[in-house]
Structures are given as structure tokens and as C-alpha cells.
A and B are shown apart, each in its own frame.
Chain A
Amino acid sequence: DAKTTQPNSMESNEEEPVHLPCNHSTISGTDYIHWYRQLPSQGPEYVIHGLTSNVNNRMASLAIAEDRKSSTLILHRATLRDAAVYYCIPLNNTNAGKSTFGDGTTLTVKP
């Protein structure tokens, strides 16, 4: 299984963009890059995922490096509600059940 590396913590000011990096240098060609976030005292929730092209949805954008060894989750305007732990995880359709998480990045948003 591909391993991921994320910074332990990051800080942002409210209303400013946030770029959360993830390294996944051992990713396989069939792995999609998924991002989840976990708000305090809640279960993880899906944010976004992609394979090769950059992706956008109502929550965030995902920028994937051309060699796919790293990706960046972009929150365009951080709010206090975005304070959470963010996890990146490679998933494909064969390892789908055996999904292992790292420790993620704790994002603090300052008012």
C-alpha cells in the first residue's frame, strides 16, 4: 500500500486560502488520491478525490502533481468551520477495503 506524508499541523487566517500538501511517492498507477477531514468529535467525512487531473467541488480543489507523487488540497477561503484534521489516502478498486490512514494534518483557523 502506498504511504503518505503530511505535515503534522498548519495554521491559517480566516478568509485566506489554505494549501494542504501530501506526499505519496509510492502511489500506484490505479490509486486515486482521496482527501477526508475529521471535525472535532466526529467521524471522517469525504472531501474530494482525483486520479490525474485537478478537481474542484463545492468544498475544495485538489491539485495533483504531474508525476502524481504529491497532491495539494486547496481551501479557497478558510472558515472557522474548516478547522479539522485532514487526511490524504490513496485508494483503488482492489485495496478498497484495506484503507490505512496516516496521522493527517491538523488545521487551525484563526479569526
Chain B
Amino acid sequence: VTQNPRYLITVTGKKLTVTCSQNMNHEYMSWYRQDPGMGLKLIYYSVGAGITDKGEVPNGYNVSRSTTEDFPLRLELAAPSQTSVYFCASRMRGQRSSYNSPLHFGNGTRLTVT
């Protein structure tokens, strides 16, 4: 799972996009944010191309899934409260109930909004 950029500094009100791509043909992809000393919070997820849904903390973010490989995260109006580390993850869909695959994570994008 490849995320870009690794580090991003911007100012309040700017529009920005963090990209995420995977070449493992995984149907499931997700975006998380992680604030200092805290666990991961689910922002948005997708179960396949053309399908996205909100997670725990979707406000201020948008996503799209036009292809299986790509799942970009967009901030339309960056705010200081969105300063965080963002992780993209992907997972194969099990074809059988007896098969269960792990989540694969990117290396993270550290975003600072001033």
C-alpha cells in the first residue's frame, strides 16, 4: 500500500489530496487518522470500485474509488483540527467464510495544518 506524500504542511482553508494505491487487487480500502497517543479512527472505507461509506470521523473529508487500485483522501478546506497522521489500508475480500485476510497498511502521511 503506497501513500503520498509522507509529509505535508499546509495552511487553513487549503484544498489537498492524499493519494493511496495498492496493486494487490484488494477490494476493501480504508482511511484512518491517528492523533498523538491515540488509536486509529476510521474516516471512510470502500468495499469496491464505485462504493464508499462513512466511518467514525468523516466530517471534513471526502473520498472516491473510481478504480480498485486507488482510494484518494481529500480535504476540501483544511483545518488545524485535521493535523494528524493518516493511514490507508487495504484488504482482500474473502471468497469463503472460512478465509479471512489481514489488513495491509501504508506508511502514513503526517499532515500539519497551520
Contact = CB atoms under 8 A, between A and B. Distances in A.
Contacts of A99: 30, 42, 45, 89, 91, 103
A93 B108 contact: no
Residue among A51, A96, A97, A98 facing the most chain B CB atoms (10 A cut-off): A97
Contact of A34 (B46, B103, B108): B103
A16 interface: no
Nearest to A101: B40
B102 A46 contact: yes
B4 to A, nearest CB: 14
Contacts of A42: 107-108
A34 B93 CA distance: 15
Contact of A44 (B94, B97, B99, B103): B103
Interface residues of B, number: 31
Nearest to A103: B39
A92 interface: yes
B28 A96 contact: yes
B100 A49 contact: yes
B102 A96 contact: no
Contacts of B55: 98, 100
Contacts of B101: 96
A43 B87 contact: yes
B40 A92 contact: no
Contact of B29 (A85, A97, A100, A104): A97
A18 B91 CA distance: 28
Interface of B: 28-30, 32, 38-42, 45-47, 53, 55-56, 87, 89, 91, 93-94, 97, 99-108
Interface of A: 30, 32, 34, 36, 42-46, 49, 51, 85, 87, 91-93, 96-104
23 contacts: A30-B97, A42-B108, A43-B87, A44-B103, A46-B104, A51-B100, A85-B39, A91-B91, A91-B103, A92-B100, A93-B99, A93-B100, A96-B101, A97-B29, A97-B46, A99-B30, A99-B45, A99-B103, A100-B41, A100-B42, A100-B56, A101-B32, A104-B39
